[in-house]
A and B are shown apart, each in its own frame.
Chain A
Amino acid sequence: MKYTITKDPHEDERVQKIIEISGQNIFSCYQCGRCSSGCPMAEFMDVLPNQVFMFLQEGDVDTLLNAKTPWICAACFTCTVRCPVGLDLAAVMEAIRELQLRKNYDYVDPYKVEEREELPPIAMVSNFRKFTP
């Protein structure tokens, strides 16, 4: 496993986008790991919450867009409450999801869903989100 840094991660557009959407300075994370040790979903994740920050700090957004972690995150805010530097990790998770969603891929075609009239609208909405990656 090797990663080559090709430009200053601070200058990476997608990292800047995530900072903009979440309102969080992801570079202030100093890798204490407390978010991961307290996350109720961490054991099901492929990238630990603290590693999410490390990937961002290295400008490696691709790995995060391909990871399951942002979609497994339950947005419970446990990490946010516990982060010693006051980072809103849940907001960063949402920003990563947002980045993916804004690609506007439709993995689910609503017109092909059977009995769609019967489904409650919320089920459709969450379907779009959950099946996005």
Chain B
Amino acid sequence: MAMKRIGVFICHCGRNIAGTVDVKRVAEEIGKREDVAFSTTYVFMCSQPGQKLIEDSIKKYNLDGVVVANCSPTLHEKTMRNAAARAGLNPYRVEIANIREWAAWPHEDNPEAATRKAIRIINATIEKLKANASLEPIEVPVTRRVLVIGGGVAGMQAALDIADSGIETILVEKEPSIGGNMFRLSETFPTLDCPQCILTPKMNDVGGHPNIKLYTYSEVEDVEGFMGNFKVKIKKKATYVDWDKCTGCGECLRVCPAHVDSEFDLKMAKRTSIYIANEQAVPLKALIDENSCIRLQFEKKVKEGKIKPKKNVKICSKCADVCEPNAIHFQNNEEIVEEEVGSIIVATGYEVMPAEAFPELGGKYPDVITALQFERLLAPSGPTAGIPRRPSDGKIPKSIAFVHCVGSRDPQNGVPYCSRICCMYTIKQAMLVKHALHDAAVYDFYIDIRSNGKGYEEFYHRAKEEYGVNFIRGKVSKVYKVGDKYRVQGVDTLTGRIVEVDVDMVVLATAAKGSSTVKELAKKLRIPYDEWGWLKETHLKLKPLETPVGGVFIAGAAQFIKDITDSVSQGSGAAAKAMALLSKPQLEKEPLLAKVDPEICAGCGRCKDQCAYDAITIDPIRHVSVVNEALCEGCGACSANCPTTAIQVVNFKKGQVVRAVDVLAEVF
């Protein structure tokens, strides 16, 4: 039944709309329509009196539909629908006509045209509204479990908060230990806490929490399902060691003859082929890296027929020989496990650009390293026990230059954005060098110091006033070798001259990017990311933790590079979002979804091919399309492709949309 008693409410939005659009005239024009029972204007429709006006008018004029002409529906559609519901009108009988963004703002210079356009937009909206059906939200069941991907500080915080609330949490980390990049750091600005001291309690809490199921050295293989009901396949990578038996004693590490660069120490140290991620790893378990293990490489070559095993030759099994609990079995124990969860939090963190990407800044030399590598040399638990040494010859440097903004703020050679944390960590590292080596000369080349956090500017001033760090304003253009030293060619833009200094070591604050694995993961989750690997939030200001996929949240540096304080806050924030979602036994979902008329549907399957959410199947018996309401997002791609209009989105039916477009397309 088409509506006959529609109410139209035109908002002034202060002067935002009324300053350009003649709202009085609009109300009068619209009021002339036969199907409009009441039409008026008000200064702020979203205010409490504005909403009250809608409620009272619905009752007074017995309205059967409402159009509110104001701002974008993303802002106040919900407000207005709730107001209508309070007055007993089905909320899906309310539509928003956006006359602010579409009429008032773009035509500020032409009030007459803006007014006529506003009238037209409202008329079109009424045409659409007239055939709206009354709807009820759809209820879907929900699994009360959460998956957190990434075991850095953000992911750990999220997992702990959720687990503490009594909800079972699954934490998947691709490395053998949780801890993330923070666990690599020496000390943390601006308080100079030691991360090993402040992070291990959290790591142990995660490792021992009754509500946390920890999968380290694992990756998400596949994700199916929808908000409240995800099915996730997790690949546990091969460790060749039985972790139920391994006690983490480390005996095997002492005998293994094969050595490779340590991932945890970012090539600043070696590890053995059988290894434990680090001394405080959680879980503290050994695993074999198949690419460097003498035995596994041998077995592989035999299998590929590349070599023939001679009899009586003993192939290395030194680790297994010393392993008391007999944990090392050399068997490929890769495994796929399945978990069901209601919500997913992605906290996959960041990576930094390698020094090698900047040969002009000396990245090709061994003593020119990234700041993250330098963290390992400054860490008391690191390979040099906190006294930095040159990677090339192990000498203690007498002078060090730090270079800011390497690749950052540089769309030609890196990324356009400011990496945000490097000013602070460079200042921190400069201070720590002075702690460790009192008479080392430290030069800090910066473009400008960005220290916008609590206690940050004060931290910078301490470095200047108390630590004897030399700050020089200007970007370094090149670093080259002169004898045993590295010549840094910079500039001092404050005095206006080139500045040169010879140093023993150079530390590059290279740009941060999203985790290199994140793009593949994001595709599995169907969440968007940008070209630098940062996950995209739904709204930068108001929905920074949400993604367009319901039930999937993001936290920490995975969204954009940030410091620990912000990463932890986001971890807790995402946890709260997931918990709110799982707090109800059923989830409510907007009923504006695709519906199939089986009488018309020919089962051609064109709709199925279009659906980005895999919501459509073709019933093999009846040979018609079937929509999974829980999966459908109501985008309408199916409907646009259906040759027979059998599949249509509720309240966006073909007749409705076409009538609205007809009004809009009339000659102006």
Measuring CB to CB, which residues of chain A are less than 8 angstroms from any residue of chain B? Answer: 1-5, 7-11, 25, 27-28, 30-31, 50-51, 54-55, 57-58, 60, 85
Which segment, of B253-261, B303-311, B414-422, B493-501, faces chain A?
Answer: B493-501
Return 9 A-B CB contacts under 8 Å, by A number: A2-B499, A2-B500, A3-B495, A5-B499, A7-B441, A25-B465, A27-B468, A51-B495, A58-B499
Query: B470 at interface (Cβ–Cβ under 8 A)?
Result: yes
Inter-chain contacts of A4 with B (CB < 8 A): 499-501
Residue from A30, A51, A54, A58 within 8 A of B464 (CB atoms): A30
Contact B500 A58 (CB under 8 A): no
Residue of A nearest to B448 (CB): A31
Contact B461 A5 (CB under 8 A): no
Residue from A2, A27, A51 within 8 A of B498 (CB atoms): A2
Contact B497 A1 (CB under 8 A): yes
Residue from B442, B460, B470, B497 within 8 A of A3 (CB atoms): B497
Query: B68 at interface (Cβ–Cβ under 8 A)?
Result: no
Question: A5-B501, A8-B399, A27-B465 known; A55 and B495 CB under 8 Å?
Answer: yes
Contact B464 A3 (CB under 8 A): no
3 closest Cβ contacts across the A-B interface? Answer: A8-B441, A1-B497, A5-B501
From 440 to 456 in chain B, residues with beta carbon under 8 angstroms from any chain A beta carbon are 441-443, 449
CA distance A1 to B474 in the complex (A): 15
Question: A5-B443, A5-B500 known; A10 and B470 CB under 8 Å?
Answer: yes
CA distance A85 to B461 in the complex (A): 9
Inter-chain contacts of A30 with B (CB < 8 A): 449, 460-461, 464, 471
CA distance A25 to B466 in the complex (A): 9
Contact A54 B470 (CB under 8 A): no
Query: B492 at interface (Cβ–Cβ under 8 A)?
Result: yes
Query: B472 at interface (Cβ–Cβ under 8 A)?
Result: yes
The minimal Cβ–Cβ distance linking B11 to chain A, given in whole angstroms, is: 46
Residue from B442, B460, B492, B496 within 8 A of A58 (CB atoms): B492
Residue of B nearest to A31 (CB): B494
Contact A28 B464 (CB under 8 A): yes
Inter-chain contacts of A5 with B (CB < 8 A): 443, 470, 499-501
CA distance A80 to B401 in the complex (A): 32
Contact A31 B473 (CB under 8 A): yes
CA distance A25 to B399 in the complex (A): 22
Contact A58 B472 (CB under 8 A): yes
Q: A2-B497, A50-B494, A58-B499 are in contact. List 15 more A-B contacts (CB 8 A).
A: A1-B498, A3-B497, A3-B500, A4-B500, A4-B501, A5-B500, A8-B442, A30-B449, A51-B494, A54-B492, A55-B495, A57-B471, A58-B492, A60-B495, A85-B461
Inter-chain contacts of A58 with B (CB < 8 A): 470, 472, 492, 495, 499
Task: Please report the number of residue pairs spanning A and B whose Cβ atoms sit closer than 8 angstroms.
Answer: 62
CA distance A42 to B129 in the complex (A): 70
Inter-chain contacts of B460 with A (CB < 8 A): 30
Contact A27 B495 (CB under 8 A): no
CA distance A9 to B471 in the complex (A): 11
Residue of A nearest to B468 (CB): A10
CA distance A27 to B470 in the complex (A): 8
Query: At the interface, is chain A mostly helix, strand, loop or mixed?
Result: mixed
Contact A57 B470 (CB under 8 A): yes
Contact A3 B494 (CB under 8 A): no
CA distance A51 to B399 in the complex (A): 25
The minimal Cβ–Cβ distance linking B524 to chain A, given in whole angstroms, is: 48
The minimal Cβ–Cβ distance linking A2 to chain B, given in whole angstroms, is: 4
Contact A3 B499 (CB under 8 A): yes
CA distance A85 to B497 in the complex (A): 25
Inter-chain contacts of A27 with B (CB < 8 A): 464-465, 468
From 481 to 500 in chain B, residues with beta carbon under 8 angstroms from any chain A beta carbon are 492, 494-500
For A3, A9, A85, the residue with the greatest tally of chain B CB atoms inside 10 Å of its CB is A3
Inter-chain contacts of A2 with B (CB < 8 A): 497-500
Inter-chain contacts of A28 with B (CB < 8 A): 461, 464-465
CA distance A14 to B499 in the complex (A): 20
The minimal Cβ–Cβ distance linking A18 to chain B, given in whole angstroms, is: 16
CA distance A60 to B496 in the complex (A): 13
The minimal Cβ–Cβ distance linking B502 to chain A, given in whole angstroms, is: 8
CA distance A58 to B490 in the complex (A): 13
Contact A3 B465 (CB under 8 A): no
CA distance A2 to B449 in the complex (A): 24
Inter-chain contacts of A51 with B (CB < 8 A): 494-495
CA distance A1 to B496 in the complex (A): 8
CA distance A54 to B470 in the complex (A): 10
Residue from A8, A54, A85 within 8 A of B494 (CB atoms): A54
From 366 to 400 in chain B, residues with beta carbon under 8 angstroms from any chain A beta carbon are 399
CA distance A54 to B494 in the complex (A): 7
The minimal Cβ–Cβ distance linking A51 to chain B, given in whole angstroms, is: 5
The minimal Cβ–Cβ distance linking B433 to chain A, given in whole angstroms, is: 12
CA distance A54 to B499 in the complex (A): 12
CA distance A1 to B69 in the complex (A): 65
The minimal Cβ–Cβ distance linking B403 to chain A, given in whole angstroms, is: 15
The minimal Cβ–Cβ distance linking B335 to chain A, given in whole angstroms, is: 56
For B442, B461, B495, the residue with the greatest tally of chain A CB atoms inside 10 Å of its CB is B495
Inter-chain contacts of B496 with A (CB < 8 A): 1
From 135 to 161 in chain B, residues with beta carbon under 8 angstroms from any chain A beta carbon are none
CA distance A5 to B500 in the complex (A): 6
The minimal Cβ–Cβ distance linking A81 to chain B, given in whole angstroms, is: 20
CA distance A55 to B468 in the complex (A): 16
Residue of A nearest to B489 (CB): A2
Residue of A nearest to B500 (CB): A4
The minimal Cβ–Cβ distance linking A72 to chain B, given in whole angstroms, is: 18
Inter-chain contacts of B472 with A (CB < 8 A): 58
The minimal Cβ–Cβ distance linking B24 to chain A, given in whole angstroms, is: 52
For A1, A5, A11, the residue with the greatest tally of chain B CB atoms inside 10 Å of its CB is A5
The minimal Cβ–Cβ distance linking A106 to chain B, given in whole angstroms, is: 32
Residue of A nearest to B398 (CB): A8
Contact A8 B470 (CB under 8 A): yes
The minimal Cβ–Cβ distance linking B274 to chain A, given in whole angstroms, is: 45
Residue from B441, B449, B461, B495 within 8 A of A54 (CB atoms): B495
Contact A9 B470 (CB under 8 A): yes
The minimal Cβ–Cβ distance linking A19 to chain B, given in whole angstroms, is: 12
From 312 to 357 in chain B, residues with beta carbon under 8 angstroms from any chain A beta carbon are none
CA distance A8 to B442 in the complex (A): 8
Inter-chain contacts of A57 with B (CB < 8 A): 470-471
For A31, A50, A85, the residue with the greatest tally of chain B CB atoms inside 10 Å of its CB is A31
Contact A3 B492 (CB under 8 A): yes
The minimal Cβ–Cβ distance linking B494 to chain A, given in whole angstroms, is: 5
CA distance A54 to B399 in the complex (A): 20
Inter-chain contacts of B443 with A (CB < 8 A): 5
Inter-chain contacts of B468 with A (CB < 8 A): 8, 10, 27
CA distance A60 to B472 in the complex (A): 13
